[in-house]
Amino acid sequence: MKPSTLNLMLAVSLIVVLAIAALAHVDNARPNFEIHFGYDMAYSPAYGAYAPNTNFADGRTLQAPPAGTIPRGGELPLYFAPSGEDALRAGEVLTSPYSPASDEGKQAARRGGAEYTVFCTACHGDGGLGDGPVVKRGFPPPPSLLTGKSAQMKDGQLFHILTYGQGSMPNFAAQLSPARRWDVIGYIRKLQRKAAPEDRPLDAPAAAQEKEPGNSVQSGDAPVQREDTKQTETDSEP
Ligand code: HEC
């Protein structure tokens, strides 16, 4: 074989090899070439969540959870009516998961402060006196959180108000999860403690604080009025 013929043959085989390599290139973005003898289970007929579906009576694919079921990791339902009586009952049966003197309790009150600024200050004012900007523009002023009934209410009752509202006060169930509601309640207690430290010592157990005399909500007496002026701006409490 003449060298020129050999070169030509080598060049042709190089081109052939490169062409085959290019054709055999695996493109992972495309499905493999397949030959189907009937589709069997190769493609699953899954419905889109919002696609119409004749298999269900209501014609929808996405079905509501069966009544009475609770999703895993979901919130347990509360069995209260949005009424004053049930607010009192909530005061008896619901207790804050945080004790105010514990580290968790202090952290909760601190988180609650941030939540209070976002959701409550507009009406109740920074200090809880009921003098927020919305009130200054004509909204019916809420009672003071420091000297009003809420100073005598039990934690569970405040929780009920945040969950179901009260009078012209909207509820905050959608904005604040139950854990965040307890944070805000911890912050309200902190404000009340600053206003009247002798009535609400930090180290007293929560139950003892609730049994303080003059619990107007339980007994129906006039609420004990404390002076707003007792509120101090010092942030000595951690
Ligand atoms: C839109 C204004 C508004 C906002 C925002 C608001 N409140 Fe109120 N709140 C009121 C009014 C008005 C009342 C009095 C309701 C009534 O009894 O008629 C009230 C009552 C209360 C009471 C009961 C006081 C009592 O003496 O009966 C508590 C506790 C309370 N609010 C806490 C909160 C907290 C905590 C937040 C934030 C998560 C909040 N409120 C946000 C307007 C508001």
Helix (H, G, I), strand (E, B) or coil at 166: strand
Of ligand 1's listed atoms, the one at least distance from the Cα of 223 is 26
Alpha-carbon distance 97 to 108, whole Å? 10
Alpha-carbon distance 132 to 202, whole Å? 27
**231 in a structural domain:** no
**141 in a structural domain:** yes
Q: What is the pLDDT of residue 203?
A: 66
Alpha-carbon distance 126 to 122, whole Å? 8
Cα–ligand 1 centroid distance for 161 (angstroms):
8
- Both tokens of 167, joined, read 């009078």
**142 in a structural domain:** yes
Residue identifier of the C-alpha nearest atom 26 of ligand 1: 149
Cβ atoms of 80 and 72 closer than 8 Å: no
Distance of CA 19 to the CA centre of its chain: 61
**69 in a structural domain:** no
Q: What is the pLDDT of residue 217?
A: 36
Q: What is the pLDDT of residue 158?
A: 96
Q: How many CB atoms lie within 10 A of CB 62?
A: 12
Number of domains composing the chain? 1
**124 in a structural domain:** yes
**68 in a structural domain:** no
What lines the ligand 1 site, CB under 6 Å?
119-120, 122-124, 134, 139-140, 142-143, 145, 148-150, 158, 161-162, 166-170, 172, 184, 188
Whole domain around residue 102: which residue ranges?
A: 84-223
**24 in a structural domain:** no
Q: What are phi and psi of 189, to 5 degrees?
A: -60, -35
Taking CA atoms, 61 is separated from 43, 56, 58, in Å, by 19, 7, 9
CATH number of the structural domain spanning residue 172: 1.10.760.10
Q: What is the pTM of this model?
A: 0.67
Alpha-carbon distance 171 to 157, whole Å? 13
Q: What is the pLDDT of residue 214?
A: 36
Residue from 88, 116, 123 whose mutation best tests the ligand 1 pocket (most atoms within 8 A of CB):
123
> Which residue(s) pair with 169 in the sheet?
166
Cα–ligand 1 centroid distance for 144 (angstroms):
9
Helix (H, G, I), strand (E, B) or coil at 114: helix
pLDDT in tens, the chain (238 residues): 788 999 999 999 999 999 998 888 878 888 777 777 777 777 777 899 999 999 999 999 999 989 888 888 877 888 899 999 999 999 999 999 998 889 999 999 999 999 999 999 999 999 999 999 999 999 999 999 998 899 999 999 999 999 999 999 999 999 999 999 999 999 999 999 998 887 777 765 554 444 443 333 333 333 333 343 333 444 444 4
Cα–ligand 1 centroid distance for 169 (angstroms):
5
Cβ atoms of 182 and 172 closer than 8 Å: no
Alpha-carbon distance 223 to 149, whole Å? 6
**59 in a structural domain:** no
